Structure 1
Amino acid sequence: MSERPLELAWLRIFEAVGRLGGLTRAAQELGLSQPAVSYTVRMLEEQLGTPLLMRGHRGSTLTPAGETLHRAAAGAVAELDGAARAIRRMSRRPVVRLFTDYGFASFWMMPRVAAFRLVRPDTEVHVIASAAAEPSGDDAEDVAVLFGTRSDFPANAVQLLEEKVVPVCGPRFAARHGLAEQPMRIGAVPLLHLESTPRPRWFGWGDWFAATGFARGPSASDLSLNTYGLVVQAAIADQGVALGWSGLIDGALADGTLVAIGPPLLRADHGYWLRPGPDPSPAARDLIDWIEREVKADAGPTRFGKPAK
């Protein structure tokens, strides 16, 4: 019997034959013809000088020699497949998944994605925006930026933005209704509402009127919308007055697209919190550090980065 090394083209075929218990089933799984699989096994038996299969009408079973070879083949196939997966991951660009709500995704993250690409040009950022308070089983995340209060988050979460709202509208709408001179007229104009659950996590117009003491007159022309992006678009389109969240509408206030009307309302223990996923990758850690730096730069010397308690 020859002692020369075995050719390895048979490896995956024989692994499938032994695992599936038959030539036909192995051929079907591998996309080969049954004669091709049978020929490969026969050539292997000739090289080894011993039968590897006991063939029968209902399939094939491994001989003792076949079992020995199959254990080696199965281990080798598994190790090679694992190595192939690792190599493919090495060749792919790193991907970081950020889970957040529509407001943060649209008004904070998306305008800044290009800036992060300058920091990590090799990294893809997948922003998963949802109205849900938490990711579902299908929304695995490396980083989450979520709205809530301190008790909602683990100790390693960092508060990015305190909840601070101010009434905002388009400049033409403000001028038409005299809101700049008399903000108490807010109670008599159409209001734009962000739809929420029976127990909302964020401020609503009822909270603002209760805190400021302004009177709310009856109005049938209010508008409720299911995402914050639509609320802001409606305000820009002069459809009414919206509550503007600090950190989200700063750009629109800076460029004059929106103007602030009336006093702000602050709730320091509420706001947006950054929660790292389990075992963040280097790319995820870079995204976390970058988000924190960006928020700190926006806030200037004010308080930032309070850990959850």
Structure 2
Amino acid sequence: MTERKLDLGWLRTFEAVGRLGNLTRAAGELGLSQPSVSYQIRRLEEEIGAPLLRRLHRGIELTEEGRIFHEAAAAGVSRVDEAARRIRQQVRKPAVRLYTDYGFASLWLMPRVPEFRRLNPDIEVHIVASQALESDLEGVADIAVMFGEAGDFGADARLLMPERVVPICAPGFLQRFGPVREAADIAAAPLLHLDTEAKPRWVTWPSWLAEHGIARDPGQADLGLNTYELVIQAAIAEQGIALGWIGLVDAFLERGTLVPVAAELERPRWGYWLVPTTSRNPAMRALHDWLLLPDRNAPETETGGGMPGR
């Protein structure tokens, strides 16, 4: 959001008129009426005792006196705005920006952030969620939690949550479709796919089935969805079997909204990695160290929090 400009009265008005060369455009930029801008310029010319503008058919131009005065006004406005920006930065609370995907942000991070804020009341936390995998975090965030393989994110990255995946569905779907005793039974069921334009970094149904020696193309009864939120919603709505990431769907499993129908598949070298940047921000270090503390049980909620959305 653009920071509010200090009210500098006629100084800012004259700077905008001289820079834009048009009274109406200057009035629009400043949120004033065109007659108000004209009045301020006339009063300024009266006080200085010389014409500052030359009215043309389409706009205005500065007189020689106007150019001299505008050079000083522009420099003054610029210096005042820069000073105000620096002072505002000094008095603000320290802040840290964390970049991650929608699933981790909504299901793992948000239930735990209140604890960090309670322990660090002077630190502002800004969460930047995206479905894209940022290759360059500098300028985007101070720290990130991203999904990938060991070595993807540099030597400073720390594994926060290894990839553990389990097929899940709603109890009603299992009663209607079951029993499910082995991978072949799952392959015969309607499956819920997380579609993505890029090559998936996480376990997909084809890769999960391949681990069990089954080759299967998407079936007519399958459903493809472009966010993990929709995948989980479809599973709750008894539309098929989804892949559930332990750490993201725990609340649904604990309440019985969704149930596992097979053993977990674990890929220890894959998962969510904590990735610091070169930022020297002390707030970043505080969040970094807190995220690496032994995991605490997330607070229980009535609804189980938001949905993931890779």
Give yes or no for TM over 0.5.
yes
RMSD over aligned CA atoms reads 4.1
1:216 Cα shift?
Answer: 5.8
Q: How far is 1:149 from its partner?
A: 2.1
Find the counterpart in structure 2 of residue 40 from structure 1.
44
Q: Is the 8 A contact 2:172 2:238 kept in 1?
A: yes
Q: Return 5+ residue gaps in structure 2 as ranges.
A: 1-7, 298-310
Instruction: Give 2:158's aligned residue.
Output: 158
| Matched position secondary structure for 2:111 | helix
Q: How does 1:76-91 map to 2 (within 5 A)?
A: 76-90=76-90
Kindly state the Cα deviation for residue 231 of structure 1 after the two structures are TM-superposed: 1.5
Q: Which residue does the alignment assign to 1:220? A: 220
| Cα deviation code 1:108-155 (max 9, x no counterpart) | 123223333323345544433332222899x93333322222343233
Q: Tell me the equivalent position of 1:305.
A: none
Alpha-carbon distance between aligned partners in 2 of 1:172 and 1:55, rounded to the nearest angstrom? 78
Question: CA offset at residue 248 of structure 1?
Answer: 1.3
How far did 1:195 drift?
Answer: 1.0
Whether 1:147 and 2:143 are equivalent positions in the alignment is no
Tell me if structure 1 keeps the 8 A contact 2:52–2:62: yes
Overall identity of the aligned pairs, in %: 46
User: Which amino acid in the other structure matches residue 37 of structure 1?
Assistant: I
CA distance in 1, matches of 2:72, 2:168: 70
Supply the distance in 2 between the matched residues of 1:219 and 1:10 (Cα, whole angstroms).
Answer: 70
Matches of 2:148 and 2:72, distance apart in 1: 54
Is residue 99 from structure 1 mapped to residue 103 from structure 2 by the alignment?
Answer: no
Q: Which amino acid aligns with 1:40?
A: L
Partner of 2:179: 178
* 1:168 partner amino acid: I
1:187 partner amino acid: A
Residue 108 of structure 2 aligns with which residue? 108
Partner in structure 2 of residue 168 of structure 1: 168
Residue 132 (structure 2) aligns with: 132
Count of matched residue positions in the alignment of Structure 1 and Structure 2: 279
Deviations 1:158-206 (A, max 9, x none): 3222222122223343455123x55652222222211123632111112
- Aligned partner of 1:282 in structure 2 is 282
| Matched ranges for 1:235-274 at <5 A | 235-274=235-274
Residue 187 of structure 2 corresponds to 187
The 1:11–1:220 alpha-carbon spacing in structure 2 relative to 1, beyond 3 Å, is: closer
Give, in whole Å, the separation in 2 of the partners of 1:26 and 1:199.
48
CA distance in 2, matches of 1:206, 1:96: 38
Q: Is the 8 A contact 2:183 2:212 kept in 1?
A: no
2:196 is paired with a residue whose SS is coil
The structure that is helix-richer by fraction is 1
Deviation at 1:33, TM superposition (A): 4.0
> Would the aligned equivalents of 1:23 and 1:38 in 2 still touch at CA under 8 Å?
no
- Name the SS of the counterpart of 1:221 in structure 2: coil
Offset, 1:60:
4.3
